[in-house]
């Protein structure tokens, strides 16, 4: 966790310096009072390893998207360094999980005997009747989404225990149930093809109810995970040829979007949602 803290602190310092140089307003973000460093432990060491591993994966994905969209050399260098840090974070967490015997391997299949081509439209089917076996890429996305939702369910369950307002507590409970439902959907697809879906028993939070994070921080973090989840579902849809998989991802994406929208309303009502930089309202300016 100290590695994550040092990385985050360093990234904030670099971004703040860029904003100051450009005379760009620095976001308010969070203050010391948003975290209670003396609170009782909420999650196990095993959970935190899985969490760090997942944060590394999310960083790799996010920075790989941001890098090609940047023109300035210093910004590209910053994102490059961030991506390298995320890779190192992911690898270090994965190595520790393997050393502890906790690493969760994705399902694997026997090697094919020879290369094959698709000759029937049934390869794209998936609504009714006998369906073709899942492809390796479909298995990979199903497993990854199952893993992330299992982790998310445990995280939001812990958040629900320490949330201070009934509104935020109910929102976290709802999110944990949605994640459980999505996990069941992905697990069903895999089990129907007799593909095992091992998960760790170390994900459940501890029993502490002492507030660790402010409700504002809980909501912000959950919103960030919602946004990332919809992005992963979008990528999964693009790589899934079976129509039943595509339909499932579409349906689950709508559910996450509705959940995220309700979360945004909670943040707006409480004055927690900072407005991102936006294009000028030319029509309003033109009207004086």
Cβ atoms within 10 Å of 149's Cβ, excluding its own: 24
Cβ proximity of 168 and 215 under 8 Å: yes
Answer whether 0.85 is exceeded by the pTM. Answer: yes
Q: Can you give the pLDDT at residue 80?
A: 97
C-alpha–C-alpha distance, residues 258 and 262, integer Å: 6
Q: What is the pLDDT of residues 230-272, one digit of tens each?
A: 999 999 999 898 989 999 999 999 999 999 999 999 999 999 9
Q: Can you give the pLDDT at residue 47?
A: 94
Does the pLDDT at position 79 exceed 70? Answer: yes
Q: What is the pLDDT of residues 102-148, one digit of tens each?
A: 998 888 888 888 888 887 766 676 656 678 889 999 999 999 999 99
C-alpha–C-alpha distance, residues 60 and 182, integer Å: 24
Cβ proximity of 197 and 109 under 8 Å: no
Q: Can you give the pLDDT at residue 174?
A: 98
Q: Can you give the pLDDT at residue 118?
A: 80
DSSP string, 6-43: HHHHHHHHHHHHHHHHTTPPPP----GGGB-TTSPP-S
Does the pLDDT at position 191 exceed 70? Answer: yes
pLDDT band at residue 201 under the 50/70/90 scheme: low
- The burial class, CB within 10 Å (0-12 / 13-18 / 19+), for 174 is middle
Cβ atoms within 10 Å of 94's Cβ, excluding its own: 16
C-alpha–C-alpha distance, residues 271 and 226, integer Å: 20
């Amino acid at each position: 966790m100290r590695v994550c803290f040092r990385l985050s602190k360093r990234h904030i310092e670099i971004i703040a310096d860029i904003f100051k140089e450009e005379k760009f307003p620095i976001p308010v973000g969070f203050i010391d009072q948003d975290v209670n460093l003396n609170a009782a432990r909420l999650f196990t060491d095993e959970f935190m390893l899985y969490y760090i591993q997942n944060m590394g994966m999310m960083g790799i994905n996010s920075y790989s998207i941001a890098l090609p969209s940047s023109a300035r050399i210093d910004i590209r260098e910053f994102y490059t360094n961030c991506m390298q840090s995320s890779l190192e974070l992911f690898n270090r967490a994965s190595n520790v999980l393997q050393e502890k015997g906790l690493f969760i391997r994705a399902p694997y299949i026997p090697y094919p005997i020879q290369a094959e081509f698709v000759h029937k439209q049934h390869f794209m089917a998936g609504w009714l009747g006998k369906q073709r076996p899942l492809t390796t890429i479909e298995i990979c996305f199903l497993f990854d989404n199952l893993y992330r939702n299992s982790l998310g369910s445990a995280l939001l369950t812990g958040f629900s225990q320490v949330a201070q307002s009934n509104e935020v507590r109910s929102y976290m409970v709802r999110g944990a149930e949605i994640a459980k439902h999505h996990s069941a959907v992905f697990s069903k697809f895999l089990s129907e093809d007799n593909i095992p879906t091992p998960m760790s028993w170390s994900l459940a939070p501890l029993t502490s109810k002492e507030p660790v994070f402010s409700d504002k921080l809980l909501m912000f973090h959950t919103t960030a995970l919602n946004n990332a989840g919809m992005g992963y579902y979008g990528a999964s849809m693009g790589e899934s040829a079976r129509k039943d998989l595509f339909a499932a991802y579409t349906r689950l994406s709508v559910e996450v979007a509705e959940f995220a929208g309700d979360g945004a309303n909670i943040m707006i009502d409480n004055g927690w949602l900072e407005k991102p930089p936006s294009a000028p309202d030319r029509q309003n300016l033109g009207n004086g």
